Structure 1
Amino acid sequence: MKKILSLIVLTVVVATSCSTTKQKALKEDDNTISFTYSAVTRGSNNEVVIKDGTVETLQSRLSDKPVTRTLTAAEWTALKEVYNKKTVKDANLQNIVPPSKKHQFDGALGATLQITHNDIVYSSSTFDHGNPPSEIKELVNKIIELSALDKK
């Protein structure tokens, strides 16, 4: 009887330990991912940085001071779900072809997406603000939605 009881206790302790370790690893993984969206043209520099559970938005035409807010757990989860989709994960960001090139003649702000994961930086090629490539469109739209950028 003692052996059965100790076996049950040992199983519960191991299961709890594994669950805690897994939760800690997921939490640490959350802290190793950051997103930077930049939209630039002559006279304008907009940037959104999402990391460590915060969103920082800088619109240079409006202010030199960034607008910062904390993400809710639901917002962070939604952003990570979009990021973890196959189209984003498998996208070779620098090789994605933009659907339009108005940014090349000041017809649109030139935008880039930068994802940092485990200290490795992945950067997209430049695309038109408001018209991201289909492979990253959902992620870019989610980042803008969470930011204080003008939605225009």
Structure 2
Amino acid sequence: MKYFFISYLFILMTINCGTFQDKETIEFVKYETFTRGSTTNISVHPNSIQVKKAGMQTSEYTEEISVKQWKEVLAAMEDIEISSIGRLETSTEDSSRDAAAQAVLSIKKNDSVYITSQFDDGNAPKAVKPLVEAILRLAENVE
């Protein structure tokens, strides 16, 4: 029984460590919004966040983020099947009639970049909404 328990703990720890290592391979997460006259690009990397705005007023800011902040971004991705984000469907199409900006979320993991289809800014698909909100919270304090 003792050996069974130790084996079980070893397997459990291996699975948990493997999951965390898998998340660590994420190189960046990017949220982009665009309309006819402006674009916003928010890139979050393990140690920094960059916010670029172009349009009537152009600006670019980069700030360091803490390990805790990066882990919050990773935690927001826990329930996301990254390889399938390109197949997520949107619930509204306000951007098609200029009622909302268009938005795209991309995640670079290992050597692959996974990109969602376009959706309305402020109305992300349910599966990626917590991640979009985490990115926007980080970007609020950049400048």
- Alpha-carbon distance in 2 for matches of 1:103, 1:92: 23
User: Within 2, Cα distance between the matches of 1:136 and 1:126?
Assistant: 12
Structure 2 counterpart SS, 1:74: helix
Query: What is the identity, as a one-letter code, of the residue corresponding to 1:55?
Result: I
- Deviation per residue, 1:72-112 (Å, 9 max, x gap): 111111111111x22x1266111111111111111111000
The residue type equivalent to 1:145 in the other structure is R
Trace 1:50-129 onto structure 2 (pairs within 5 A).
50-61=44-55, 63-83=57-77, 85-86=78-79, 88-89=80-81, 92-129=84-121
Match of 1:143 in 2: 135
| Residue identity in the other structure for 1:50 | V
Query: What is the aligned partner in structure 2 of residue 47 from structure 1?
Result: 41
Aligned residue identity for 1:122: Y
Match of 1:5 in 2: none
Is the alpha carbon distance of 1:68 and 1:31 closer, same or farther for their aligned partners in structure 2, counting shifts above 3 Å?
Answer: farther
Larger Rg: 1
Q: Which runs of 5+ in 1 are unaligned?
A: 1-21
Give the CA RMSD over aligned residues: 2.5
TM-score (norm: length of structure 1): 0.72
Q: From the superposition, tell whether residues 79 and 52 of structure 1 become closer, same or farther in structure 2 (CA, over 3 Å).
A: closer
Q: Following the alignment from structure 1 to structure 2, what is the Cα–Cα distance between the partners of residues 110 and 141? A: 16
Percent of residue pairs identical: 22
Cα 1:149/1:96, change in 2 over 3 Å: farther
How many pairs does the alignment contain? 124
Structure-2-length-normalised TM-score: 0.76
